[in-house]
């Protein structure tokens, strides 16, 4: 890992971005602008975070505030990603339902010390995983409700209530939101060495400490993502977490 940013880092970043752009152009994906925007945002955001985070980590209260900011950004990002920006309070309920109990167990059990340097990265990982699960679940289930509207109407025609009819359409799609997390957990150490493991090693920890940190992250992610998907489904069933077009289309 580079000790200090320098010309070599800039060259590597430009080369990697160019590879992505060429691949998009060759494959006619037409996402070149999105790739550039994402890369620039990542550089700017991480630069700003690097300046702020040193002060934040020194104080537990400010670390908690920073974690809440991460949660707010995750909620708004996921709400936009699933096409339901006005339903952000219900996205917040789903994501927070997954994150808060998991973080409470991790820190209350003493498995991870409750301090700034532990809270910020741990909260970031768990919140990010819950955000991803909510986005995947929302995009997949909302697409199913649009594409399989006939199944929804058929369920209503045989006497099912609106929540039951929605579940008939989306239930088989919900597990797909958990696939990335499950694959990562199944293959850890064999295919990938995730960030928590590598971070502890780079910080001078032993392989045993790195393994312990990574396993609590992975199991915590599974719990947070599963709870988030379940809560998001319940909110969708009662028509609270839906894009505007589906709120109109799913009128019994």
pLDDT in tens, 13-50: 999 999 999 999 999 999 999 999 999 999 898 888 77
Regarding predicted confidence, which is higher, 49 or 92?
A: 92
- Tens-place pLDDT, residues 142-175: 999 999 989 999 998 998 999 999 999 999 999 9
User: Could you tell me the pTM of the whole model?
Assistant: 0.80
Give CA–CA dist 134/75, Å, rounded.
9
Q: Is 128 exposed, middle or buried (0-12, 13-18, 19+ CB in 10 A)?
A: middle
Q: State phi, psi for 192 to the nearest 5 degrees.
A: -130, 155
pLDDT at 182: 85
CB 226 within 8 A of CB 178: yes
Question: Domain coordinates of the chain in residue numbers?
Answer: 1-56, 58-249
pLDDT at 193: 58
- Which residues sit opposite 192 in a β-bridge? 188
- Find the mean pLDDT for residues 192-215: 63
Give CA–CA dist 105/3, Å, rounded.
34
Residue 55 has pLDDT above 80, yes or no: no
Give CA–CA dist 75/19, Å, rounded.
31
- Tens-place pLDDT, residues 112-132: 888 888 888 889 999 999 999
Q: State phi, psi for 194 to the nearest 5 degrees.
A: -65, 175
pLDDT at 67: 93
The CATH number of the domain covering residues in 58-249: 1.20.1640
Give the position of tokens 């069933």.
237
- Find the mean pLDDT for residues 83-104: 96
């Amino acid at each position: 890992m580079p000790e200090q940013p320098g010309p070599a880092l800039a060259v590597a970043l430009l080369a990697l971005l160019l590879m992505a752009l060429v691949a998009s152009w060759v494959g006619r994906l037409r996402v070149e602008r999105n790739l550039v925007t994402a890369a620039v945002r990542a550089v700017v955001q991480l630069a700003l975070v690097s300046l702020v985070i040193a002060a934040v980590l020194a104080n537990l209260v400010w670390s908690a505030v920073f974690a809440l900011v991460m949660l707010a950004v995750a909620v708004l990002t996921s709400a936009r990603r699933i096409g339901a920006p006005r339903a952000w309070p219900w996205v917040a309920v789903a994501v927070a339902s997954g994150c808060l109990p998991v973080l409470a167990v991790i820190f209350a059990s003493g498995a991870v010390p409750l301090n700034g340097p532990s809270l910020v990265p741990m909260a970031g990982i768990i919140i990010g995983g819950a955000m991803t699960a909510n986005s995947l679940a929302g995009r997949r289930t909302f697409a199913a409700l649009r594409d399989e509207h006939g199944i929804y109407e058929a369920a209503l025609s045989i006497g099912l209530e609106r929540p039951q009819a929605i579940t008939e359409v989306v239930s088989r799609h919900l597990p797909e939101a958990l696939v990335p997390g499950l694959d990562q957990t199944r293959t850890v150490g064999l295919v990938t060495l995730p960030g928590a493991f590598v971070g502890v090693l780079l910080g001078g920890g032993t392989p045993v400490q790195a393994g312990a940190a990574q396993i609590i992250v992975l199991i915590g992610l599974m719990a947070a993502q599963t709870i988030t998907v379940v809560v998001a489904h319940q909110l969708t069933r009662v028509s609270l977490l839906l894009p505007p077009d589906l709120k109109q289309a799913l009128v019994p």
